[in-house]
Amino acid sequence: MRHAWLALALIGCSEPSGSPAPDAGASPDAVALDALDASPSGFGTLSGMCGVLAQMQLTGSTPELFTTTFTFARAYMDPADRGLLTPGGRRLAETPNAGGSSGLSEVFAYEELARCEMAALLKTETEIVYDTAGKITDLEVQIGTHKIGVSVVRAFGYPLGTEYPLASAQTLITRKLRDIQESTANVSAADRWEKQILAVLAWDDQAAEVVTQAWAMADAQTRADTIVVVSKTAGDDQFIYTNQ
Protein backbone atom coordinates (compact mmCIF):
# COMPACT_ATOMS: atom_id res chain seq x y z
CA MET A 1 0.00 0.00 0.00
CA ARG A 2 1.19 3.50 -0.70
CA HIS A 3 1.69 5.81 2.27
CA ALA A 4 -0.36 8.99 2.72
CA TRP A 5 1.52 12.22 2.05
CA LEU A 6 1.05 15.67 0.62
CA ALA A 7 -1.78 17.63 -1.02
CA LEU A 8 -2.85 17.74 -4.62
CA ALA A 9 -0.16 19.68 -6.49
CA LEU A 10 -0.30 21.84 -9.58
CA ILE A 11 2.83 22.77 -11.48
CA GLY A 12 3.93 24.38 -14.73
CA CYS A 13 2.39 27.25 -16.72
CA SER A 14 2.87 29.52 -13.71
CA GLU A 15 3.34 33.25 -13.59
CA PRO A 16 7.03 34.04 -14.27
CA SER A 17 9.00 35.22 -11.28
CA GLY A 18 11.04 37.71 -13.27
CA SER A 19 12.12 38.80 -16.71
CA PRO A 20 12.73 36.00 -19.23
CA ALA A 21 16.31 34.84 -19.66
CA PRO A 22 18.12 35.89 -22.85
CA ASP A 23 17.61 33.62 -25.85
CA ALA A 24 19.84 30.61 -25.16
CA GLY A 25 18.71 27.96 -27.60
CA ALA A 26 20.54 24.66 -27.80
CA SER A 27 23.15 24.24 -30.50
CA PRO A 28 22.52 21.76 -33.34
CA ASP A 29 25.11 19.45 -31.79
CA ALA A 30 23.29 19.50 -28.44
CA VAL A 31 19.98 18.70 -30.13
CA ALA A 32 21.52 15.83 -32.05
CA LEU A 33 23.09 14.43 -28.88
CA ASP A 34 19.76 14.50 -27.07
CA ALA A 35 17.97 12.76 -29.91
CA LEU A 36 20.61 10.07 -30.24
CA ASP A 37 20.47 9.39 -26.51
CA ALA A 38 16.68 8.99 -26.49
CA SER A 39 16.25 5.23 -26.03
CA PRO A 40 14.16 2.72 -24.05
CA SER A 41 16.91 2.44 -21.41
CA GLY A 42 17.22 4.86 -18.53
CA PHE A 43 15.88 5.41 -15.02
CA GLY A 44 12.54 3.63 -14.75
CA THR A 45 10.67 1.48 -17.28
CA LEU A 46 8.21 2.88 -19.83
CA SER A 47 5.30 0.96 -21.31
CA GLY A 48 2.03 1.72 -23.05
CA MET A 49 1.48 4.17 -25.91
CA CYS A 50 5.14 4.90 -26.59
CA GLY A 51 6.32 6.17 -29.98
CA VAL A 52 2.91 7.44 -31.10
CA LEU A 53 3.57 11.09 -31.97
CA ALA A 54 3.90 11.06 -35.75
CA GLN A 55 3.60 13.85 -38.32
CA MET A 56 -0.21 13.81 -38.13
CA GLN A 57 -0.25 14.34 -34.35
CA LEU A 58 2.46 17.02 -34.39
CA THR A 59 0.98 19.12 -37.20
CA GLY A 60 -2.75 18.33 -37.16
CA SER A 61 -5.45 20.32 -35.40
CA THR A 62 -7.20 17.40 -33.67
CA PRO A 63 -6.74 17.22 -29.87
CA GLU A 64 -5.56 13.77 -28.76
CA LEU A 65 -4.78 11.96 -25.52
CA PHE A 66 -2.25 9.14 -25.07
CA THR A 67 -1.37 7.09 -21.98
CA THR A 68 1.85 5.50 -20.79
CA THR A 69 3.06 3.88 -17.59
CA PHE A 70 6.36 4.88 -15.93
CA THR A 71 7.43 2.25 -13.39
CA PHE A 72 10.25 2.78 -10.90
CA ALA A 73 11.98 -0.12 -9.16
CA ARG A 74 13.44 2.33 -6.65
CA ALA A 75 13.26 6.01 -5.84
CA TYR A 76 15.32 8.43 -7.90
CA MET A 77 18.07 10.09 -5.84
CA ASP A 78 19.28 13.45 -7.06
CA PRO A 79 22.05 14.23 -7.91
CA ALA A 80 23.49 10.71 -7.59
CA ASP A 81 21.23 9.28 -10.32
CA ARG A 82 21.58 12.07 -12.87
CA GLY A 83 23.96 9.93 -14.91
CA LEU A 84 21.02 7.59 -15.68
CA LEU A 85 19.03 10.39 -17.36
CA THR A 86 19.18 11.55 -20.97
CA PRO A 87 21.34 14.65 -21.60
CA GLY A 88 18.18 16.78 -21.67
CA GLY A 89 16.97 15.26 -18.42
CA ARG A 90 20.31 15.99 -16.78
CA ARG A 91 20.16 19.58 -18.02
CA LEU A 92 16.70 20.01 -16.52
CA ALA A 93 17.83 18.47 -13.22
CA GLU A 94 20.77 20.88 -13.07
CA THR A 95 18.81 24.02 -14.05
CA PRO A 96 16.59 25.95 -11.60
CA ASN A 97 13.02 26.43 -12.86
CA ALA A 98 10.75 29.45 -12.43
CA GLY A 99 9.60 28.31 -8.99
CA GLY A 100 7.26 25.79 -7.41
CA SER A 101 7.59 22.11 -6.51
CA SER A 102 8.03 21.00 -10.09
CA GLY A 103 11.64 19.94 -10.56
CA LEU A 104 11.53 16.15 -10.80
CA SER A 105 8.12 16.00 -12.44
CA GLU A 106 9.45 18.16 -15.28
CA VAL A 107 12.53 15.95 -15.54
CA PHE A 108 10.51 12.75 -15.86
CA ALA A 109 7.87 14.24 -18.14
CA TYR A 110 10.77 15.11 -20.43
CA GLU A 111 12.33 11.65 -19.99
CA GLU A 112 9.05 10.10 -21.23
CA LEU A 113 9.09 12.26 -24.36
CA ALA A 114 12.82 11.76 -24.98
CA ARG A 115 12.71 7.99 -24.64
CA CYS A 116 9.32 7.40 -26.28
CA GLU A 117 9.20 10.12 -28.90
CA MET A 118 12.89 10.94 -29.50
CA ALA A 119 12.36 14.47 -28.18
CA ALA A 120 15.38 16.75 -27.83
CA LEU A 121 15.43 19.53 -25.26
CA LEU A 122 15.69 23.00 -26.81
CA LYS A 123 14.95 25.37 -23.93
CA THR A 124 14.14 25.21 -20.25
CA GLU A 125 11.36 27.19 -18.56
CA THR A 126 13.45 30.27 -17.83
CA GLU A 127 15.04 30.38 -21.30
CA ILE A 128 11.83 30.66 -23.36
CA VAL A 129 11.16 34.28 -24.38
CA TYR A 130 7.69 35.85 -24.41
CA ASP A 131 6.45 39.08 -25.95
CA THR A 132 3.84 39.55 -23.23
CA ALA A 133 4.01 38.61 -19.53
CA GLY A 134 1.59 35.90 -18.42
CA LYS A 135 1.40 32.13 -18.19
CA ILE A 136 4.57 30.31 -19.19
CA THR A 137 5.44 26.86 -20.50
CA ASP A 138 7.78 24.45 -18.72
CA LEU A 139 10.08 23.47 -21.58
CA GLU A 140 10.48 23.47 -25.33
CA VAL A 141 11.52 20.37 -27.26
CA GLN A 142 12.08 19.25 -30.81
CA ILE A 143 10.40 16.06 -32.06
CA GLY A 144 11.56 15.27 -35.57
CA THR A 145 11.60 18.66 -37.27
CA HIS A 146 8.84 20.11 -35.08
CA LYS A 147 9.28 22.61 -32.25
CA ILE A 148 6.85 21.69 -29.42
CA GLY A 149 6.04 23.38 -26.11
CA VAL A 150 5.55 21.13 -23.07
CA SER A 151 3.58 22.00 -19.94
CA VAL A 152 3.78 19.60 -16.99
CA VAL A 153 1.35 18.88 -14.16
CA ARG A 154 0.89 16.24 -11.46
CA ALA A 155 -2.46 14.63 -10.61
CA PHE A 156 -2.88 13.03 -7.20
CA GLY A 157 -5.20 13.09 -4.21
CA TYR A 158 -4.70 14.23 -0.63
CA PRO A 159 -3.25 12.43 1.19
CA LEU A 160 -1.34 10.22 -1.25
CA GLY A 161 -3.27 7.04 -1.90
CA THR A 162 -6.73 8.58 -1.57
CA GLU A 163 -9.08 8.85 -4.52
CA TYR A 164 -8.50 11.73 -6.89
CA PRO A 165 -11.84 13.54 -7.36
CA LEU A 166 -13.24 14.09 -10.85
CA ALA A 167 -14.08 17.69 -9.94
CA SER A 168 -10.42 18.33 -9.07
CA ALA A 169 -9.30 16.78 -12.34
CA GLN A 170 -11.75 18.93 -14.30
CA THR A 171 -10.48 22.10 -12.63
CA LEU A 172 -6.87 21.09 -13.23
CA ILE A 173 -7.20 20.06 -16.86
CA THR A 174 -9.37 23.02 -17.83
CA ARG A 175 -7.00 25.49 -16.21
CA LYS A 176 -3.89 23.94 -17.71
CA LEU A 177 -5.32 23.75 -21.23
CA ARG A 178 -6.34 27.42 -21.04
CA ASP A 179 -2.92 28.37 -19.65
CA ILE A 180 -1.36 26.60 -22.64
CA GLN A 181 -3.39 28.72 -25.03
CA GLU A 182 -2.24 31.88 -23.23
CA SER A 183 1.45 30.97 -23.28
CA THR A 184 1.17 30.01 -26.97
CA ALA A 185 -0.34 33.41 -27.76
CA ASN A 186 2.41 35.23 -25.84
CA VAL A 187 5.56 33.34 -26.90
CA SER A 188 8.11 35.21 -29.04
CA ALA A 189 8.49 34.52 -32.75
CA ALA A 190 11.95 33.04 -32.17
CA ASP A 191 10.60 30.46 -29.73
CA ARG A 192 7.19 29.87 -31.32
CA TRP A 193 6.21 26.20 -31.24
CA GLU A 194 3.88 24.40 -33.65
CA LYS A 195 1.72 23.10 -30.79
CA GLN A 196 1.91 22.10 -27.15
CA ILE A 197 1.85 18.89 -25.16
CA LEU A 198 0.28 18.76 -21.70
CA ALA A 199 2.26 16.10 -19.83
CA VAL A 200 0.33 14.73 -16.83
CA LEU A 201 2.04 12.55 -14.23
CA ALA A 202 -0.73 10.60 -12.47
CA TRP A 203 -0.32 8.83 -9.12
CA ASP A 204 -2.21 5.62 -10.01
CA ASP A 205 -4.75 4.02 -12.37
CA GLN A 206 -7.64 5.86 -10.76
CA ALA A 207 -6.00 9.28 -11.11
CA ALA A 208 -5.07 8.57 -14.73
CA GLU A 209 -8.61 7.45 -15.54
CA VAL A 210 -10.16 10.52 -13.92
CA VAL A 211 -7.79 12.83 -15.84
CA THR A 212 -8.83 11.09 -19.06
CA GLN A 213 -12.50 11.59 -18.14
CA ALA A 214 -11.94 15.25 -17.36
CA TRP A 215 -10.22 15.79 -20.71
CA ALA A 216 -13.08 14.07 -22.56
CA MET A 217 -15.59 16.32 -20.77
CA ALA A 218 -13.79 19.57 -21.67
CA ASP A 219 -15.31 21.57 -24.52
CA ALA A 220 -13.69 21.75 -27.94
CA GLN A 221 -12.46 25.31 -27.46
CA THR A 222 -10.62 24.36 -24.27
CA ARG A 223 -9.04 21.22 -25.73
CA ALA A 224 -8.10 23.07 -28.94
CA ASP A 225 -5.28 21.19 -30.70
CA THR A 226 -3.25 20.31 -27.59
CA ILE A 227 -1.82 16.79 -27.21
CA VAL A 228 -2.25 15.33 -23.72
CA VAL A 229 0.14 12.59 -22.53
CA VAL A 230 -0.95 10.96 -19.27
CA SER A 231 1.86 8.99 -17.64
CA LYS A 232 0.65 6.83 -14.78
CA THR A 233 3.54 6.26 -12.39
CA ALA A 234 4.00 3.01 -10.49
CA GLY A 235 6.45 1.36 -8.11
CA ASP A 236 8.61 3.51 -5.84
CA ASP A 237 7.36 6.80 -7.32
CA GLN A 238 6.70 9.03 -4.30
CA PHE A 239 9.73 11.16 -5.14
CA ILE A 240 7.79 12.72 -8.03
CA TYR A 241 4.90 13.83 -5.81
CA THR A 242 6.89 14.91 -2.76
CA ASN A 243 9.69 16.78 -4.53
CA GLN A 244 9.92 20.41 -3.43
Q: What is the pLDDT of residue 27?
A: 33
Q: What is the pLDDT of residue 2?
A: 46
Instruction: Tell me whether residue 3 is in a domain.
Output: no
Find the domain containing 118 and state its range.
28-242
DSSP annotation of 2: P
3-state secondary structure of 101: coil
Number of domains in the chain: 1
Instruction: Tell me whether residue 183 is in a domain.
Output: yes
Instruction: Tell me whether residue 2 is in a domain.
Output: no
pLDDT in tens, 197-229: 999 999 999 999 999 999 999 999 999 999 999
Residues of the chain with pLDDT under 50: 1-39, 101
Instruction: Tell me whether residue 18 is in a domain.
Output: no
Q: What is the pLDDT of residue 31?
A: 38
Q: What is the pLDDT of residue 243?
A: 73
Instruction: Tell me whether residue 98 is in a domain.
Output: yes
- Of 162, 159, 172, give the one whose Cα is nearest residue 228: 172
Q: Assess contact for 241 and 79: CB atoms under 8 A.
A: no
What is the arrangement of strands in the sheet containing 120-124, beginning at the earlier edge strand? Answer: 45-48, 64-72, 227-235, 195-202, 146-155, 139-143, 120-124
Instruction: Tell me whether residue 105 is in a domain.
Output: yes
Instruction: Tell me whether residue 14 is in a domain.
Output: no
pLDDT in tens, 137-165: 999 999 999 999 999 999 999 899 999 99
Pairing between β-strand 195-202 and β-strand 227-235 as defined by DSSP bridges: parallel
Any residues with CB less than 8 A from the CB of 202 and at least 6 apart, and which? 154, 155, 156, 164, 208, 211, 230, 231, 232, 233
Instruction: Tell me whether residue 21 is in a domain.
Output: no
Q: What is the pLDDT of residue 102?
A: 59
